[in-house]
Amino acid sequence: MTPPRLSSLVKRAVWVLAWLVPVAALAQAAPDTDHLIYQMQAGDTLTGLVERHMQGSDALKQVVQANRLANIHRIPVGQKIRIPRSLLRYTPSSATVTRLNCKTVVQIDGQNAVPIQTGSVLGEGAVVRIPAGCQFALTLEDESTVRLMSGAVIQLKTLRRNAFEASPEVKIELLDGRLEIDVPRKRLSTDAPFQVLTPTSVAGVRGTEFRVGFDAKQRSSQVEVKVGAVGARGQAEKTEKRAGTGQGVAVMANGQSLDVETLLAPPRYASFEAQPGGKDWLLKFDAVPQAERFMLVTADDANFSALMMQEQATQAQVMAPALGSKPVFYQWASISRTGLMGQATDYGVCKGYKRLEQWRCNVPFNVSGLIKPHLQFQKIDAQGQVFELLNGLVQAVDNNVLVFRGLPSGVYRWRIEHEISATMKAGMSGQFELVAIPGED
């Protein structure tokens, strides 16, 4: 018998060795998304299942061939059979537009372009192109949220339900740009596949928050996990790599994936320099040395509804012209050599005014187009203690903008929930660090 202390040491050694295994060696077979696995129940017959839940004159023959069944009348209870998804009878699923801050988004249906508005319902096959400067989000029937970045193009390739699985089958193809997905719960073994495709990659969702990017010119793809786990592989590969929280996988134009990487930390605010003339300010940020470039999004409000600019910067600094008491909001993320984008951090920077010995800003939230918006707004101090500033329905009185006046520098967290219809609600959330540059008393 192994002594207790020695047993503990052995377990620890095994744990350490597991972490020393190269990431590339953790590749595993990609799940079979072309078939549904069904376990035979008491009273089931194969012919009965085919008649009730499948389509096609040769459906029974295809199931027999897929499972190499010798006798369709002698299948024991508990045996698992593979059913080609192409045979399943299904009902259409849908996606509802739950965020839209511009008027030019269209659904491309064949040769026709159909305008989209908040509350529009999209079905399988829809192609959506997001113009520059737009904020756009879809909510699926399983309550997953798909947020499309400015300039993105997607096709809803598969949105359908069948009688065997708890959630709809979802396949979204990203044709250009970036999207972010939030799956609110872990998908179970009884759930249908949820995949995000690009022309060079496949990302399989396990219940997580993640991003997918595709550069149509370079033909490269990126899968970046914020929370949870995603199985990612190139279109040319039969195995996938598991990326966890704070990790990502890049896929090259040839459909081959690179090793799992740790996503880079975002630039952090460092300092400011007044420019000649006293109107412009150079804002400097500290970045990790591995960052090759940066994604910088500039907005006019704390919830990034009114975008001013989106660009890739080569330096972690930005010129802020003519700052006033209302902040300009900057969202920074680091991009690695392989094109993976790390977690983003938001900053609001203003030229402050002094009250009660502190420099302060007037912070706006844009609630344009939102029905019955409910805002939760909190300040988080240096010790992590949370102070609630507002938690309730809001009414914007000036150009659909709600302004919090006299906020000092610090970290703030917010969430806005709003109605889409009588039966559907949607939400958005974020956090930003407010920087009040000393101005005039």
Q: What is the pLDDT of residues 114-145, one digit of tens each?
A: 888 889 999 999 999 888 888 899 999 988 99
What does the pLDDT look like over 324-368, one tens digit per residue?
A: 999 999 999 999 999 999 999 999 999 999 999 999 999 999 988
Q: Are residues 75 and 193 in the same domain?
A: no
**Comparing C-alpha atoms, which of 143, 155, 154, 205 is closest to residue 178?**
154
Task: Tell me what the mean pLDDT of segment 275-284 comes to.
Answer: 88
Quick check: 72 and 148 in contact, CB under 8 A? Answer: no
Q: Are residues 277 and 425 in the same domain?
A: yes
In this predicted structure, the answer to whether residue 101 has a pLDDT above a threshold of 90 is no
Q: Are residues 190 and 307 in the same domain?
A: no
Predicted confidence band of residue 2 (pLDDT cuts 50, 70, 90): very low
Q: Are residues 119 and 252 in the same domain?
A: yes
- Say what percent of the chain tops pLDDT 90: 71
Predicted confidence band of residue 397 (pLDDT cuts 50, 70, 90): low
pLDDT of residue 189: 65
pLDDT of residue 340: 97
Task: Tell me what the mean pLDDT of segment 2-20 comes to.
Answer: 38
Q: Are residues 354 and 404 in the same domain?
A: yes
In this predicted structure, the answer to whether residue 14 has a pLDDT above a threshold of 50 is no
Q: Are residues 370 and 306 in the same domain?
A: yes
pLDDT of residue 319: 95
pLDDT of residue 277: 79
Which of 87, 112, 132 corresponds to the end of one domain?
87
Determine the length of the chain: 441
Which of 261, 294, 322 corresponds to the end of one domain?
261
Domain count, the chain: 3
Q: Which domain holds residue 77?
A: 29-87
Q: Are residues 206 and 250 in the same domain?
A: yes
What does the pLDDT look like over 157-206, one tens digit per residue?
A: 999 999 999 889 999 999 999 999 998 777 766 789 999 999 999 998 87
In this predicted structure, the answer to whether residue 385 has a pLDDT above a threshold of 80 is yes
Which of 232, 261, 290 corresponds to the end of one domain?
261
Report the CATH number at residue 120. 2.60.120.1440
Report the alpha-carbon distance of residue 132 to residue 37 in Å, rounded: 42
Residue 9 lies in a domain: no
Q: Are residues 375 and 353 in the same domain?
A: yes
Max CA distance (Å), the chain? 89
Report the alpha-carbon distance of residue 436 to residue 350 in Å, rounded: 5
Dihedral over Cα of 55, 56, 59, 62: its sign: negative
Report the CATH number at residue 48. 3.10.350.10
CA distances from 259 to 22, 227, 250, 339 (A): 9, 19, 8, 13
Task: Tell me what the mean pLDDT of segment 81-86 comes to.
Answer: 94
Mean residue pLDDT across the chain: 89
Considering 14-18, 33-37, 103-107, 397-401, the range whose residues carry the highest mean pLDDT is 33-37
Q: 175-189, 206-220, 254-268 — which is least confidently predicted? A: 175-189
